[in-house]
Amino acid sequence: MRVLLRVHGFVQGVGYRDYVRRMAEHYDVKGYVKNVEDGSVEVLAEASERQLSEFIKDIEVRTYHGPEVHKIERIESPAVVSTLTSFEVL
């Protein structure tokens, strides 16, 4: 399963992309995470439905002195033959 996520909140300049990468490695999620000009972060994630569910729960963080996710928009992507082999910070 593949999903495209748009993460809104205080998520740029606070180590959020690296945190997402670590969680992706933990859950064996393939894809990428990158900053978007509007201040949000985009995540393309590919894994089993169970892995994605846990991954998305874990990246919805709110910390006192760091990332603070206000909302995650989830866009289902059609099934495709995967060419993803890793998770990258772009």
Active site residues: 17, 35
pLDDT at 87: 87
Mean pLDDT of the chain: 92
Quick check: is 39 in a domain? yes
Residues of the chain with pLDDT > 90, as a percent, come to 76
pLDDT at position 1 over 80: yes
Phi and psi for 79 in degrees, rounded to 5?
-65, 135
pLDDT at position 78 over 80: no
Quick check: is 54 in a domain? yes
DSSP 58: H
pLDDT digits (tens, 9 = 90+) for 41-70: 999 999 999 999 999 999 999 888 889 999
- Domain containing 54 equals 2-78
The count of domains in the chain is 1
Quick check: is 85 in a domain? no
Quick check: is 50 in a domain? yes
Quick check: is 89 in a domain? no
- pLDDT band with cut points at 50, 70 and 90 for residue 81: low
Quick check: is 90 in a domain? no
46 is written with which tokens?
């590919």
Task: Determine if the pTM surpasses 0.85.
Answer: yes
Quick check: is 87 in a domain? no
- Say which CATH number the domain at 6 has: 3.30.70.100
Quick check: is 60 in a domain? yes
In angstroms, the CA 72 to CA 51 distance is 17
57 is written with which tokens?
């729960």
